[in-house]
Chain A
Amino acid sequence: MFSHILKLIWNRKRNNALMITEIAIAFIVVLMISVLAVSNYRNYQVPLGYEWQDHWQISLGISGGWSTDTNRETLRQMIAALKSQEAIDSVGVVKEPLFFNSVWQSSTRSDDRLITFNANTLDDEAFETLSVNFLAGRAFDERDNGQGYRPVIVNQLFVDTYFSNGDALDKLMPGDNANGGTLPRKIIGIVEEFRQYGELAKPVPYVISRFDIATGHQPSAIVIKVKEGTDINYEQHLSTLLKGIAPEWHFSFVTLKSQRSQSIENELTPLIVLSIVALFFVIMVALGLFGVLWQNITRRTQEIGLRRAIGASAMSVHQQIIGELMMLAAFGILAGLVLAIQVPLLGLFPELDWFSFWVSFAIAVAVILSLSFVCALYPSKMATRIDPAYALHYE
């Protein structure tokens, strides 16, 4: 029966080409949505690496240029003032803010190998403030003062990516400018993760350097951990406090909780819109398939009557019609796959890994096959009601 259906489809290729094309496009659309959903889901499964539940992020609008000594001194005073607050447990400084798409990419050359990573700068206390989960080593502290190296903390993914033997702690890497005589970097700690861009971003190799008020680049935010139950009304109090220290600066307060929700929403909204559009498209295709199939059954009344007359049971006619559409769907999927596989093959979408691709492929195949099956159910039922004596009576 399999090869029989294959022959029928092949010899009706002109009629079937359109259906196969429609299925192929629907498949690609479903595959695309699955890829997005699967990669987002997989990203979401990776631990964030820090806490956000009782944290606020205070963005700093520093006026008059960071490099002045007065501004550095102002920041020092601010941190001290915040620390002295009853409601605040801990205060840290970050160069790149959390749950923002503020990306700092960097690279270095080690043993002629290009090591690229995303970077950030945190002060000593930020690790405790954010309860960053260390797998090995430690956070920055006084032991790193005045050493012949620049301490860095990396995430496990960085180790997995660039240290094939997994042994990275206390290893040295060239400094920012390998020839310029800057101090080499030394890995003093390895954290599980530090997903600055939030849970839906793809995890990347990440390197954190030590922020030092006296010499560091301009920080963008202070992160504080407040006591449980501190509500947003406390913001007014803090604002007054900080304004008192730095009347010229601008501050904006946001809880990491709401910033996190915002970043998830930003990632998911386009995906949801896209899914709705795709859903409508797929429904259109399904209705189209249903219509064409229905029309085919009417056109093929004689053929089906003949099959019944020469011994096909109602069941086998039913199966044949469903089988035909399933095979068309398989061809459509194959055609779609040939196109879609170019994306990971050519690396057109670097965020996409093969595992996510094949999982999404399986999902899309299941969706398209079940949809085809549902579309074929009624027309094939109709085909079984064809009365052979009647169908063969008229020329």
Chain B
Amino acid sequence: MIKLNNVNKTYFTDKIETIALHNISLEVETGEFVSIMGPSGCGKSTLLNIIGLLDKPNEGSITLEQENVEQYKEKQLAKIRNEKIGFIFQGFHLIPELRVIDNVELPLLYRKISSKKRRELALEALEKVGLSARSHHFPSQLSGGQQQRVAIARAITGKPSLLLADEPTGNLDSHMGDEIMQILEDLNKNENTTIIMVTHDDDEAKRTDRLIRVFDGQLIH
């Protein structure tokens, strides 16, 4: 599914160089549920951004479904992100002026599908996260857990083959966290969605197929 080969990422800001990722090589199979753990600032989000084609590595190559995306143009990358990848960000990043249903529809807006079909798919995704009753609320009218579920619905509405989740349970209590894990596990089992999830929770990591540990921008085995 995904293959990273000797990926390096360094941020340059105000004369300070931050090596966020150092010589990362990694392979994830289709249908795998992988968790990533590591201390704060070790580069987990950066790794996810690079896998999700949001950021480009300074060195190394990324292969997504046998396609080397190195030379891809901005527009092609946007298309892959839109059709193949679903993101659950560390923050919810819902658009406050849009109702839940419109937030969920957002990725579909950048595809050539009818508004009727968009609505259908968005409702289906909301159904999966158990929030169809809240489809016409605004994000500010929802609890944190509900907002995170909206963010998940938005990530899965386009039926991506790869789901990238950055601490999806980070802001939630353990009960809510469990519900979210349940949703992810169902997606992984029933739809064969490949999932890569950053977490700080050992119990959550144990529920996944494989755990990858990151320390100071490097993988530890």
Interface segment out of the listed B88-96, B121-129, B190-198: B88-96
- A305 CA / B96 CA spacing, docked (Å): 14
Instruction: List B residues 24-72 near A (Cβ within 8 Å).
Output: 45, 49, 52, 54-55
A11-B79 Cα distance, complex, nearest whole Å: 28
In the docked arrangement, what's the CA distance between A1 and B113, Å?
A: 11
Partner-contacting stretch, out of B101-109, B172-180, B200-208:
B101-109
A311 touches B97 (CB 8 A): no
Residues of A within 8 A of B102 (CB): 4, 7
A143 sits at the interface (CB 8 A): no
Q: Are A312 and B91 in contact (CB under 8 A)?
A: no
A395-B91 in contact (CB<8A): yes
Which residues of A sit under 8 angstroms from B75, Cβ to Cβ? 313-315
Given contacts A310-B87, A311-B78, A392-B91, contact A316 B97 (CB under 8 A): no
B22 at the interface (CB under 8 A from A): no
Max chain A CB contacts within 10 Å: which of B55, B83, B97?
B97
Q: Majority SS of interface residues in chain A? A: helix
From A4, A313, A314, A316, residue with most partner B Cβ within 10 Å: A313
Assess the B81–A309 pair: CB atoms within 8 A: yes
Which A residues from 306 to 351 make CB contacts under 8 A with B? Answer: 306-316
Contact (A393, B82) CB under 8 Å given A4-B109, A8-B97, A316-B110: no
A271–chain B nearest beta-carbon distance, Å: 43
Instruction: Please indicate the chain A residues that have their CB under 8 angstroms from the CB of B159 in the complex.
Output: none
In the complex, the answer to whether A311 meets B82 with C-beta atoms within 8 Å is yes
Query: B207 → chain A, closest Cβ, in Å?
Result: 26
With A388-B54, A389-B49, A389-B55 as known contacts, state yes or no: A310 contacts B95, CB within 8 Å. no
Q: In the complex where A3-B115, A11-B98 touch, is A311 in contact with B81 (Cβ < 8 A)?
A: yes
Chain B, interface residues (CB within 8 Å), range: 20 to 34
Is the Cβ of A313 less than 8 Å from the Cβ of B55?
Answer: no
Q: Give the nearest-CB partner of B49 in chain A.
A: A389
Taking the closest CB of chain A, its distance from the CB of B112, in whole angstroms, is: 11
Q: A310 to B97, Cβ gap below 8 A?
A: no
**Contact yes or no, B81 A310, CB < 8 A:** yes
For A307, the chain B residues whose CB sits under 8 A away are 106, 110
Of the A-B pairs whose beta carbons lie under 8 Å apart in the complex, a sample of 29, sorted by A's number, is A3-B115, A4-B109, A7-B97, A7-B99, A8-B97, A11-B98, A302-B93, A306-B89, A307-B106, A307-B110, A309-B81, A309-B89, A310-B82, A310-B87, A310-B106, A310-B107, A310-B154, A311-B79, A311-B83, A311-B107, A312-B78, A312-B110, A313-B78, A313-B79, A314-B74, A316-B110, A388-B54, A392-B89, A395-B91
Lowest 6 A-B CB distances belong to which pairs?
Answer: A311-B82, A11-B97, A389-B55, A313-B78, A310-B107, A311-B110
Binding site for A on B (CB under 8 A): 45, 49, 52, 54-55, 74-75, 78-79, 81-83, 87, 89-91, 93, 95, 97-99, 102, 106-107, 109-111, 115, 154, 158
